[in-house]
Chain A
């Protein structure tokens, strides 16, 4: 499996929308064929529409708050000794996470499609919060599907969604987490696709949703590419970009513009509690290819093809599948994937929050732990950049419960 140079990764699929002949596609009920085809055509047109691009850039700048900061973590670097550690503080974006890019673009598309209603899924609650924010801004009525377990554990984001006037639909089937929320959201769309636009919260789902999402989050690496050049005068020879992966939208956005460089990509999956087997790490643990939410991907499942349960302290990473784009990057050996467990993610949160002015949420804390693990083994000439794609404030309750105190 090989990645082509000079072509956007999202466009490297075959006629059946499969990447590497193996990942992705559109495994969907007949009813969704037409709406997905319509959306595919509309997006293909909008991507080339100068006015649409101008509009996107305008809102990314004035509404999302682009560019987000790129900072050196001096204290962490000194503390660990070894590679220089930087962070792209995507949590400074409006709303507090990268989910705002996808949400904003989906609302702009929904407007162009003449839709008045928008629905979306959420795990950590960021995707839902951002969609509700953007929907409010662009005058769309918004409904968010969220697992009942996640509603319990991600209260701040739930409150934000309510404040933005979104209807939150608690999903009580299965594990009551993100996987069930996405299923229920897709079911809702099957029933309402004539009036309603659907936003999938990450680079998962039928092909078009993967494309729109990755195209939107790519803003992160467009900014970073410039920021890195400004900082170092060039793209450093030995540079690693570390990103947590749940569905994989922040990582795709963080890496996209560096695809044709020598920069190393490391994706960090959720290892779950130390002694649990219910990890959410299909790439690290060699899961088999299966079909989840309309796309072929490495997915946690049993021999029969029943989707497996996962467990992670971070609701945003607690998902049995992974974007087909990451499956493609893995098999093409362009990116490397590993996992970090709950306990270590908490340690990373603690250390970074203590030493630095940023306080990553539990999702990026997984990536920070990998940075902490790697840095001492590397030379000071080497560079590690972590995508700090969420803020710990949303995890205050969990952190307090696990560590006794919450610092930020």
Chain B
């Protein structure tokens, strides 16, 4: 059976466009609101990434830290995150959803229990920020057994030899970090250079779906639209923060923002 993530990429390829991938944090700022946001943006986004918040995120910039902080302050727990996914999936059974976060939460939960909960709530994939290759091999294999996509990460610092190994052991989707930065940094590398690196990865294995993330906003997204997929995260988190500050309906605001992002890549 094709995975939902695979099907989403196929559909985008047929439409000759990049897949739009959003990142928001579960529970930002409440369970209900983050579910409403997911429902709203899923009309435009092809794949949804949902962060499960950690309070010591060593690779996240201010915006995502802010989202995580708001969610944790409102008491979000891992079981709530799975509830949000479950409810979202009930309404949108075919929309792929990838959970993203730090390994300690999985470690405390227990890998097997965590994956059972992923399966039961309908999670399609996982991105674990601080469990790099090859340390992640065992866990990635467990994911595969459960038909959960384990998304490997590549970065500008990844050497060629390493890149080949990671790609060889990867599943369908790979995440290329555009630049040396935490999330939310300004794009400090030229889109041309990023696309060059992207193409280098594609040449190693053209079948993998390579998505680019970090530093992508409505200003930069169209210059990278050649990629299989593009991830926008911090800009969305920032819009949520602004909506809360200005007492606007965050789901409505995000609906528009993601709609506009989509327009820029079709």
Contacts and interface: CB of A to CB of B under 8 A. Distances in A.
A361 interface: no
B82 to A, nearest CB: 12
Interface string B59-78: 11100010001001000011
Contacts of A26: 132, 135
Given A183-B58, A303-B108, A304-B78, A291 B180 contact: no
B56 A34 contact: no
Interface in A292-322: 292-294, 296, 301, 303-307
A30 B58 CA distance: 12
Interface in A306-361: 306-307
A190 B54 CA distance: 18
B157 A31 contact: yes
B97 interface: no
A291 B130 contact: yes
A191 B182 contact: yes
Interface in B45-96: 54-61, 65, 69, 72, 77-78
A27 B139 CA distance: 13
A27 to B, nearest CB: 4
A294 B102 CA distance: 10
Nearest to A179: B56
Contacts of A33: 132, 155, 157-158, 162
A29 B59 contact: yes
A31 B107 contact: no
Interface in B155-185: 155-159, 162, 177, 180-182, 185
Interface in B93-117: 102-105, 107-109
A194 B59 CA distance: 16
A304 B157 contact: no
Interface residues on B, range: 35 or more
Contact of B56 (A16, A30, A307): A307
A291 B182 contact: no
B141 to A, nearest CB: 16
Given A25-B135, A306-B54, A191 B180 contact: yes
B130 A28 contact: yes
Contacts of A183: 56-58
A193 B102 contact: no
Contacts of B77: 304
A33 B135 CA distance: 11
B195 interface: no
Contacts of B258: none
B56 A194 contact: no
A192 B107 CA distance: 29
B21 interface: no
A173 B65 contact: yes
Given A29-B153, A33-B158, 9 more contacts: A29-B130, A30-B155, A34-B162, A187-B60, A191-B180, A192-B180, A293-B58, A304-B108, A305-B105
Interface of A: 16, 25-35, 173-174, 179, 183, 186-187, 190-194, 288, 290-294, 296, 301, 303-307
17 contacts: A27-B130, A27-B132, A29-B130, A30-B155, A31-B59, A33-B162, A34-B158, A34-B159, A35-B157, A173-B65, A174-B56, A186-B58, A190-B58, A194-B157, A291-B102, A292-B104, A305-B104
